[in-house]
A and B are shown apart, each in its own frame.
Chain A
Amino acid sequence: MNNPPSPSPHAPDDPPRSATPGEAADKELGIPEAVIVREENRWVLVVVGVFLTILATIVFSAVHIGAEPPSNVETINPVSANQPGSEFVESNLGSGMQADGTVVVRVLAQQYAFVPSVITVPVDTPVVFRATSADVVHGLLIMGTNVNTMIVPGYVATLRTRFAKTGDFLMPCHEFCGPSHHDMWARVRVVPKAEFPFDPSGERRF
């Protein structure tokens, strides 16, 4: 940090004070201002180093392991989200496979359940979660994974992931959505690829 010319210690207009505990400090240590400034400058270099290290770690993990927050600002009318013509109509919810082998999971969150309440996805396959809310703010978290997003009414949350191992996972709503928030849990079942049949028509939902 760029220190200005430091004022001389004990400037004449420094009002005389009665004996304070600090007096002893002056007598015994008498640290010159130059020493203080030097030490501080060294510390500022350390702080700059900390800043740059944190920043570099964040950028590195974003570029190389994809540790980035989602970015898709897409709007939807929450009141008609369940109507025909909407992507979140009842019959279209759940997992479906696209022609390129990607699995798209559509989830509708509402007080106080996720639809569907059991989600099946194949292991080691690119999965796109698309979720929206029919009423208030919700969130979803698949425990034991990094799948974690807010679900805000009026917006579609998009999240990409890939499940590394098979098994059953809990998927609670993690944002306060009303007095039965604690009842809002779903499950995610990650199955071997063979149990998630490829569907060329793309019309089947699980």
Chain B
Amino acid sequence: MRRHGLFSIHNPWKFWGAVLVASMLVMGIAIGFLWLPQVQERPVFGDRLKKPGGWFASFCRGLGWTGDAQATATAAPPARWASDMQWTPDTVHLALSGDRARGEFVALNCTACHGEKGQGGQQTWIPKLARMDRLVIYKQLADYRSGHRQWGVMNAVAMALSEQDSADVAAYFNSQAQPPLQLGQEGSNPPLTDARFKDAQKLVYNGDPLRHVAACATCHGPSARMTAAPDLQGQHPAYLTRQLGDFAQGHRANDLHLQMRAIASQLSPDEMNALGLFLAQGKGPRDAR
């Protein structure tokens, strides 16, 4: 056998191997790219689907260039969207490049309601800002500015700030010390019983799949982070409960892809209340491992 050499045409194994592979390639391309696209999805869809005219069109369809997008272009309702924010690398870069010292100056506008150094004021429906993620503050200010989030004075405040100001003030609050946890039963009515505590714990760590409620911990950290999802631990419970209620009723609708509206609309008022308390007690997403 050696006398023919490996690459000799007289080597039957080599010859028939090549024939086998070549015929499979030809058959695969002929059926897959030329024939099947001609009949694709027509048995299910009847004559609603245009037959690709010609072999070239057929080949393109086999590659996946079908022109189906035009086929489904319909009249659309007036556009409504949650936020103008697009997390492109440039935007992320801007939002993270704030100047802390300048931010302290900008923050003079904030302390009256959000407390000294963002540690929280008297009103429990106003959030603490200290330690809050920069992207969160940046995005919320942008949404107040564009009107996608509405809250009286905040829209006016945000409109006075530039994008750079927002990044600066975000950097300032982010660099502040973690506010102390509130371990009391602040605003708790009814009180957080063991059963309610367990329910809240389940929602925070596990979620509730068939109500499409994702576990809080998987976006609000630390087992994973969603871009611009705030850390919830130690926040005012009344603020958290109120935001859940607002999401549920659509008063607040600046969550980029309806995540929070979809979740909150599935929660009972009692669950919202328990979640607010659970998170405020410091037994929040940060404990999840």
Contact = CB atoms under 8 A, between A and B. Distances in A.
Interface residues of B, number: 60
A59 B31 contact: yes
B212 A83 contact: no
B78 A178 contact: no
Contacts of B75: 201-203
Given A62-B36, A65-B43, A180 B218 contact: yes
A183 B208 contact: yes
A104 to B, nearest CB: 5
B53 to A, nearest CB: 17
Contacts of A96: 74
Contact of B46 (A62, A71, A126, A186): A126
B84 interface: yes
A92 B77 contact: yes
A84 B81 CA distance: 7
Interface string B206-223: 111110111101110001
B42 interface: yes
A108 B61 CA distance: 24
B254 to A, nearest CB: 11
B79 A182 contact: no
B160 interface: no
A160 B45 contact: yes
A132 B76 CA distance: 18
Contacts of A134: 256-257
Interface string B63-95: 111101100101111111110101110000000
A196 interface: no
Contacts of A39: none
Interface string A186-202: 10000000000000011
Interface in A162-183: 162, 170, 172, 178-180, 182-183
Given A59-B31, A183-B208, A115 B258 contact: yes
Contacts of A202: 74-75
A82 B257 contact: yes
B40 A80 contact: no
Contacts of B195: none
A72 interface: yes
Contact of B39 (A62, A111, A186): A62
Contacts of A100: 48
A38 interface: no
Contacts of A178: 218, 224
A73 to B, nearest CB: 3
A14 to B, nearest CB: 17
B13 A90 contact: no
Interface in A124-142: 126, 128, 130, 134
Given A63-B36, A185-B212, A2 B16 contact: yes
Contacts of A42: none
Interface in A1-18: 1-2, 4
Interface in A96-114: 96, 98-100, 102, 104, 108, 110-114
5 nearest A-B pairs in the assembled complex, by CB-CB distance: A73-B64, A180-B218, A66-B43, A183-B207, A112-B214
24 contacts: A2-B13, A2-B16, A62-B39, A63-B39, A66-B43, A82-B257, A83-B86, A84-B81, A87-B69, A87-B76, A89-B76, A91-B78, A111-B214, A112-B214, A112-B218, A115-B258, A126-B48, A170-B210, A179-B223, A180-B219, A182-B209, A184-B209, A202-B75, A204-B77
Interface of B: 1, 12-13, 16, 31, 36-37, 39-46, 48-49, 61-66, 68-69, 72, 74-82, 84, 86-88, 206-210, 212-215, 217-219, 223-224, 226, 256-259, 262-263
Interface of A: 1-2, 4, 59, 62-66, 68, 71-74, 79-80, 82-85, 87, 89-92, 96, 98-100, 102, 104, 108, 110-115, 117, 126, 128, 130, 134, 156, 158, 160-162, 170, 172, 178-180, 182-186, 201-205
